Structure formats: C-alpha cells, structure tokens
A and B are shown apart, each in its own frame.
Chain A
C-alpha cells in the first residue's frame, strides 16, 4: 500500500510570494490532516478534513493560509503571501476513521527568505 505522499519535498521562496503544497493521502482514507513543525518546536496541528469538508481548522495561523480538498482525495495548502515566520516543515497525515492511527507523509520543507 502506498503511503502518504507530499509535493514538493522542498520549497524556497521569497517573502510575499505564493506557495502551494500538495498532499496525497493513503487511498481510502477519508481523514486528512495538516501539521507544521517550526524549527526546534513541536509539531502543531493546522486542520483536519473529513472527505472534502473541513472538520476542524482551529490551528490555521491566519487567513494567509488556505487549504482545500476538492473531491475528497488530495489536498492543497496555499500560503499567500508567504512571510518569514511561515518557514518550517509542513506534514500531511491521513487516517481511515477519526481516532485511527495517523500515517504521516515525508513533509515539505518550506523556506521563506
């Protein structure tokens, strides 16, 4: 079974630019999560999709972040415009049902210069 995949693996952008991160969950997993780890700190929850619906977006830092999951398959996380403090590793995870084991992707390392 293929695991969670994320694209790109790395992204370096200038402050003010836009970046879109993509996550493909494990096939059949209705639950998709986005997390972020800023260097040296904990992995922090951003939001949770159940199929195409946002179940919980309480962790989204501000309105510069927009997450979508059209069709309930892959998800995108867009940061526009990017700020220096947005740098970090963005992880996606998926689970079959809520409360099940969450399987993580390899992450996208975002650097904003």
Chain B
C-alpha cells in the first residue's frame, strides 16, 4: 500500500520567513495530494491540494509543488505569520479510491 513520509517533524521560523515542508510517497498510482492544517484543538482543514496533471499550484502565500518522477511534493509558505502556527499534514490518494494516506505531520511554530 501507499506510504507517505513527511519532514521535518517540527519547524520553527521567525515571522516573515519562509517555511517548506516536504513529503514523499511510494505508490506511483497516487495522483491527488492535499495538505491539511490543524490548529490546536481544531479540526484538520484543507488549505491547498494538487493533482498530478500539474506541477505547481499557488494560493496567496501558500504553494505546493509536485515532482511525479521523484514522487515528492512540498508545501511552501511565504511571509509566515504567527497564525500559521499549526500542525500540517500532507496526504496522497488515488483518484476514485478516496482513501487518504497521511504523513505524520509537521508542527510549524512561527515566532513573532
């Protein structure tokens, strides 16, 4: 089955810096890659996703890149703010099968 590795497990940055979280996956059939943000005590919320027919997607300060050949994808957050502090999860799935396989999560701490 699919296996998703996520790094780093924790990431501390200063406000205004950029943050990058990386994930690798094992199943070449995976073609949908969502990122979820979970603030303390709240539900995981989808912040961005990418499908395998594109290499990059942006939404304001966040972007995701996908390298299908290398089977890795990354989340980039620019101009980080304290409210970006949360646990971020990457996931992979095969379209039509629905099951999400998650990474272990990255705790991002943005210091003012």
Minimum CB–CB distance from A60 to chain B (whole Å) comes to: 13
Mark out the residues of chain A between 73 and 113 whose CB falls within 8 Å of any chain B CB in the assembled complex: 91, 95, 98-99, 101-107
Given A31-B98, A43-B102, A48-B98, decide whether A99 and B45 contact each other with a Cβ distance below 8 A.
no
Minimum CB–CB distance from B97 to chain A (whole Å) comes to: 7
CA distance A83 to B102 in the complex (A): 24
Chain A neighbourhood of B98, CB < 8 A: 31, 33, 48, 55-56, 95, 98-99, 102
Minimum CB–CB distance from A35 to chain B (whole Å) comes to: 8
**Is the CB–CB distance between B100 and A45 below 8 Å?**
yes
* Binary CB contact string for chain B from 57 to 96 against chain A (1 if under 8 A, 0 otherwise): 0000000000000000000000000000000010101011
Minimum CB–CB distance from A7 to chain B (whole Å) comes to: 14
**Is the CB–CB distance between A104 and B43 below 8 Å?**
yes
Chain A neighbourhood of B34, CB < 8 A: 101-102
Minimum CB–CB distance from A36 to chain B (whole Å) comes to: 11
B22: interface (CB < 8 Å) = no
Q: List 22 A-B contacts (CB under 8 A).
A: A33-B99, A33-B100, A35-B102, A40-B104, A41-B104, A42-B89, A42-B104, A43-B102, A43-B105, A45-B101, A58-B99, A91-B43, A91-B44, A95-B98, A99-B97, A99-B98, A102-B34, A102-B46, A103-B46, A104-B36, A105-B43, A107-B43
